[in-house]
Amino acid sequence: MSTYAQKKGFGATIWDYLTTVDHKKIAILYLIAGGFFFVVGGLEAVFIRIQLAVPNNDFVSAGLFNEIITMHGTTMIFLAAMPLVFAFMNAVMPLQIGARDVAFPFVNALGFWLFFFGGVFLNLSWFFDGAPDAGWTSYASLAMASKGHGVDFYVLGLQISGIGTLIGGINFLVTIINMRAPGMTYMRMPLFTWSTFVTSALILFAFPPLTVGLVLMMFDRMFGSNFFVTTMGGNTVIWEHLFWIFGHPEVYILVLPAFGIFSEIFAMFSRKRLFGYSSMVFATVLIGFLGFMVWAHHMFTTGLGPVANAIFAVATMAIGVPTGIKIFNWLLTMWGGSVKFTTPMLYALAFIPSFIAGGVTGVMLASAAADYQYHDTYFVVAHFHYVIVGGVVFAILAGTHLYWPKMFGTMLNDTLGKITFWLFFIGFHMTFFIQHFLGLWGMPRRVFTYLPGQGFETSNLISSLGAVFMSLAVLVLLYNVIMTSVKNVRVGNDPWGDGRTLEWALPSPPPFYNFKQLPLVRGLDAYWLEKMEGKKGMTPAEPLGDIHMPNSSFLPFVIAFGLFVAAFGALFNMDDKAWSVPVLIIGLLITFGAMFLRSVKDDHGFHIHKEDLMEDDNDKGAKA
Amino acid sequence: MKRLAKWRLISIFAILSLILSGCGEPFLSTLRPAGEVADIQYDLMKLSTLIMVGVIVVVMVIFFIVLIKFRRKDEKIPKQVEGSHKLEIIWTVIPILLLLLLAVPTVSATFKLADVKEMDKKDSDALVINVRSNLYWWEFEYPGQGIVTGQDLVVPTDEKVYFNLISSDVKHSFWVPAIGGKLDTNTENVNKFWLEFDSAKAKEAGDLFYGKCAELCGPSHALMDFKVKTMSRDDFDSWVADMKDVEEPKVAETESAQRGQEIFNKSCIGCHAVTPANATPPEARRAPNLTNFGERSRIAGVLDHSEEDLKKWLKDPEKYKPGNLMTGSYSLTDEQINDVAEYLMGLKVQE
């Protein structure tokens, strides 16, 4: 075992991460890449707020502004929020169900690299005559009219990273269905695992419509088809349907894991089991199901007619019910508990009023006739930022502090964490609360400027000042991360002291095989149950034996890289560049060659022998 | 802690005063409804806000009790409670009832706002206006009256006005916030709805409402404004009559304007018509009709209506509306621009 514990050089570490199939390392990759894109998207947000701080501003031009808003939305949803959520799913879910890895470790790595290269490809558009500028929704008539290659970067980049997300989702589904430890029944799974499960199912059904939409648009833009060309009998409303059949579940793909993280936090730091566990599970599944029934509420003003609008209005309101159940269950989890105000708990507490605000405006928006006023105004901008920042980003920040010790073996500074929290919390409400009113006062969204004399000046300035606080919060967090990593104070299995689920029964970070012996799960909050009986760890469910592990592989990186190369060929083929077709072919050859290699070459993995595992134990004993 | 509480109080007051400081401008805000449609929508807003504030109050009361009462004081392990069926049923059923309270008026209003049966009646005397959105300008055609105008929508007050909406290029959305919610102008199909303009409220707003494009449509999406001029039915009828009187392009009066007209007829008339009865098919009208340009409220929807601003606009339209389709379609010297500007400002139909 000693070979694994050796300190590695920098190059070796990089190579290790490029070839890793370990879910814990892939989680770190997702965290780093997602964090990077979060900062990029955040900078774009800052540019937006600078431009809108005063009327008639010329900080950026009208065309550039549209590129910035498009990239802000696309980056934040696809390249920041999703991968960050995936980071926690990867880091925690296998540990929570008592598995040694996900079902398909190779596919897990492939999923990451596809997402990564898709994201890089999309962002490279800044350096090739302009980013996409048709909004993150990329409505077809505008996208088809968009000049330059921006929209092509959008279509191809999202297509590549979308494949990554889809196979990631399938992987999680299979993992949760097949790889639960003995005794871990469905109704004993922690809520974060449940939300991962439902989210993965949503990914499975929501991403194909997006893929279809993107393929149609790709053919229209690159190969001269006419799916969205009205003059040739095409129809642009179909894009709206396809996009929102994906787009609405996407919101739940993001927010359900957030609910999962908060469910863990509320239970942990109240020292109480989750109130109404079964109804929480039921509500999660119901939200996931209803999430597919409401997409047309994004299209109330498209002119679908009163029957469709009325049905989708009522269906949308119905989602409020399971969400309300969750809120009350969280409150009652704390009720009678012993609430400790750690940094993650602060985010969880702040999440309740913030998300409620986003939720109630959601119900207001569901009222179709009234939505004709809200639609495409700053009211909507305020609403979805309350849901996505107040729900998802709060959860990501909370999860970062909560799971940092489990992922890196050291705790983020709690005082700095609280400073981050307060700056972010104040900045967030300052930026977005006022935007509800801007919308009601008649300010449409996605405007690159506004004329004076319409009553928008003061409120926009306040909103922009709020962004300063949020930026400071992110800077403090980055400082915290650096300081913590430099100090590197190691922590034990359960650094918060209140861990309830299986991941806290393991060392921080866990060994690469996670569980030496698979644990026996005797109920909900498995680790907590053992602790309450005075035991130090889990009761093993199997005798100590050899552990079968997968080999590392560079092929996932190569497969994704091939598609990245091919995308450039496809994109510049439109300009009749001589090199474009060869590049396309070379890229596809790389991808399919690597896939062929993977298929024909047997890779049986390796075994960690029982003796090594026992030796590992002795090592630790000696150190202690 | 005390300091923090004080700071919180101050911020609450700041927010409250902001809220109370206004419901927005009377010519623009959805919170100052000036017609039946906006009224219906405002009532729905108030109802939903009321219900939701109720929900928020209940949640926040529980929330603050928890924050105060259940802080960790010692290392005791609290009782592990599984749940409570009674409570869970309560907080499932009550929200359902609350939502029904909102759903019923929502559905009824949705159908009411979509009721355009009047448009299909053969002998209807309801006013119908065809709205056609184009990259950064609006065309308003009155098919029953046989006139076309652009940028300034002229409507009679206190009656239902029906609209046919369609777009020439990309999707836009037609929105007059103070009058009623928006409807998209799609590229493939006509959308229909109605609005009503209240005369008393219109007076408060100076008989001029702001209209906006609400769907991202390109660089100048933010500048795709239009205006709505409201007037009594009698005034409207006389406006229509005056418009219809212009059967031939009006001959300019001053010398400079006459030169301007000549230049206009060479360089501009290919896109801009100056007679209201426009025989060109709607899809082929490439620029706003300028018959009553001299009486409009803005230039290009965003600049003040003055000869100075008109000259600036003609000199460099790209500067004021990036991405517009007029840029580069003509080349005029400064002198020619002065003449054309004088001619255009003289295009008036009413005395």
Mean pLDDT of A611-620: 72
pLDDT confidence of residue A223: 87
Q: Which residues of B touch A366 (CB under 8 A)?
A: 106
3-state helix, strand, coil in chain A (%, to 5): 70, 0, 25
Query: If you measure CA to CA, which chain A residue comes closest to B177?
Result: A442
Which residues in chain A are closer than 8 Å to B48, comparing Cβ atoms?
Answer: 363-364, 367, 370
Q: Indicate the residue of B23, B56, B180 with minimum beta-carbon distance to A360.
A: B56
Report ipTM (2 d.p.): 0.92
**pLDDT for the residue numbered A611:** 87
B206 touches chain A (CB under 8 A): no
How confident is the model over A490-495, as a mean pLDDT? Answer: 94
Q: Which residue in A303, A341, A376 is closest to B214 by CB distance?
A: A376
- CA B306 to chain A, closest CA, distance in angstroms equals 17
Whether residues B91 and A328 touch (CB distance < 8 A) is answered with yes
| CB contacts, 8 Å: A449 with chain B | 222-223
What is the rounded distance in angstroms from the CA atom of residue B317 to the CA atom of residue A238? 35
For residue B14, is pLDDT > 80?
no
CATH superfamily of A2-542: Cytochrome c oxidase-like, subunit I domain (1.20.210.10)
* Least Cα separation, residue A450 to chain B (angstroms): 7
Query: Across the interface, do A142 and B170 touch by the CB < 8 Å criterion?
Result: yes
Report the DSSP beta bridge partners of residue B164. B130, B192
Confidence at A8, pLDDT banded by 50, 70, 90: confident
Give residues 223 to 262 of B whose Cβ lies within 8 Å of A: 223, 225
Q: How far apart, in whole angstroms, are the C-alpha atoms of residue B254 and residue B342?
A: 9
Q: What phi, psi does B228 have (nearest 5°)?
A: -120, 115
Residue A428 CA: distances (Å) to CA of A423, A425, A445, A461: 8, 5, 18, 14
Report, as an integer, the average pLDDT of B236-246: 93
Minimal-distance CA residue of chain B relative to A433 = B15
Q: Which residues of B touch A454 (CB under 8 A)?
A: 25, 28, 210
Which are the contacts of B248, defined by CB distance < 8 A and separation ≥ 6?
A: B275
Tell me the chain B residues in contact with residue A141 when contact means C-beta distances shorter than 8 Å.
167, 169-171, 187
Tell me the average pLDDT across A440-461: 94
CB contact, 8 Å: B72 with chain A? yes
Task: Please give the span between the terminal C-alpha atoms of chain B, in angstroms, as a whole number.
Answer: 70
B124 vs A354, residue with greater confidence: A354
pLDDT score at A621:
47
Least confident of A573-577, B9-13, B25-29: B9-13
Q: List the single residue in A with minimal CA-CA distance to B88.
A: A325
Verify whether the Cβ–Cβ distance B221 to A446 is below 8 Å.
yes
Stretch among A445-449, B72-76, B140-144 having the lowest mean pLDDT: B72-76
Interface check for B62 against chain A (CB to CB < 8 A): the answer is yes
Residues 6 or more apart in contact with residue B95 via CB below 8 angstroms: A320, A321, A324, B55
Q: What is the pLDDT of residues B283-322, one digit of tens each?
A: 888 999 999 999 999 999 999 999 999 999 999 999 999 9
Identify which of A145, A440, A455 has the shortest CB distance to residue B169: A145
Which residues on chain B are in Cβ contact (under 8 Å) with A273? 80-82
Look at residues B231, B175, B234, B174 and name the one whose alpha carbon lies nearest to residue B205. B231
Per-residue confidence (pLDDT) for residue A85, from 0 to 100: 97
Please tell me the predicted confidence (pLDDT) of residue A200.
97
Which candidate in A301, A311, A533 is best for mutational testing of the B interface (most B CBs within 10 A)?
A301
Report the gap between the CA of B96 and the closest CA in chain A (Å): 7
pLDDT at residue A541 is higher than 50: yes
**Contact between chains at B18 and A437 (C-beta distance less than 8 A):** yes
Q: Is the pLDDT of residue A156 over 60?
A: yes
pLDDT of A622 strictly over 60: no
Share of chain A above pLDDT 70, in %: 97
Q: Which residues of B touch A448 (CB under 8 A)?
A: 219, 221-222
What is the arithmetic mean of pLDDT over A365-392?
97
B151-176 mean pLDDT: 96
Beta bridge partners of B118: none
Residue A4: the pLDDT is: 47
pLDDT at A6: 54
Give the pTM: 0.94
> Which of A61, A139, A441 faces B24 most closely, judged by CB atoms?
A441
| pLDDT(A312) > 60 | yes
Q: With an 8 Å Cβ cutoff, are A448 and B221 in contact?
A: yes
Give chain B's domains with CATH numbers.
Answer: 25-57+87-245 (2.60.40.420), 255-345 (2.60.40.420)
Residues in chain A with CB shorter than 8 Å from the CB of B175 are 444
Are A608 and A551 contacting, i.e. CB atoms less than 8 angstroms apart? no
Residue of A66, A146, A311, A373 to mutate, testing the B interface (most B Cβ within 10 Å of its Cβ)? A373
Domain segments of chain A: what residues?
2-542
Task: Give CA–CA dist A200/A86, Å, rounded.
Answer: 10
Look at residue B277 in the predicted model and tell me its pLDDT.
84
Q: Hey, are the CB atoms on B187 and A236 less than 8 Å from each other?
A: yes
The answer to whether the Cβ–Cβ distance between A301 and B173 falls below 8 Å is: yes
Cα B256 to Cα B343: distance, rounded to the nearest angstrom: 8
Per-residue pLDDT, averaged over B35-57, amounts to 95
**Model pLDDT, residue A2:** 39
pLDDT of residue A612: 85
Q: Which residue of A has its CA nearest to B192?
A: A303
Question: Rounded distance, CA B351 to CA B346, Å?
Answer: 12
Question: What pLDDT digit, counting tens, does each position of A548-600 carry?
Answer: 999 999 999 999 999 999 999 999 988 888 899 999 999 999 999 999 999 99
Which pLDDT tens digit goes with each residue over B64-88?
999 999 999 988 899 999 989 999 9
**B residues 255-294 lying closer than 8 A (beta carbon) to A:** none
Dist. CA A195–CA A96, nearest whole Å: 12
Instruction: Report the residue of chain B nearest A380, measured CA to CA.
Output: B214
Q: What percent of chain A has pLDDT over 90?
A: 92
Judged against a pLDDT cut of 80, whether residue B11 lies above it is answered with no
Do A171 and A111 meet the contact criterion of CB atoms below 8 Å apart?
yes
Q: Which residues of chain A make contact with B31, given a CB cutoff of 8 A?
A: 440-441
* Coil, strand or helix at A488: coil
Q: How large is the C-alpha radius of gyration of chain B?
A: 27
Beta bridge partners of A377: A444
DSSP state string for B125-185: --EEEEEEEETTEEEEEETTTTEEEESEEEEESSSEEEEEEEESSS-EEEEETTTEEEEEE
The DSSP letter of residue A94 is: H
The answer for residues whose C-beta is within 8 angstroms of residue A141's C-beta and 6 or more apart is A228, A230, A236, B167, B169, B170, B171, B187
Nearest-by-CA chain A residue for B29: A441
What amino acid occupies position A146? S
Which distant-in-sequence residues (6+ apart) come within 8 Å of A183 by Cβ? A520, A521, A522, A526, A541
Indicate the average pLDDT of chain B.
Answer: 91
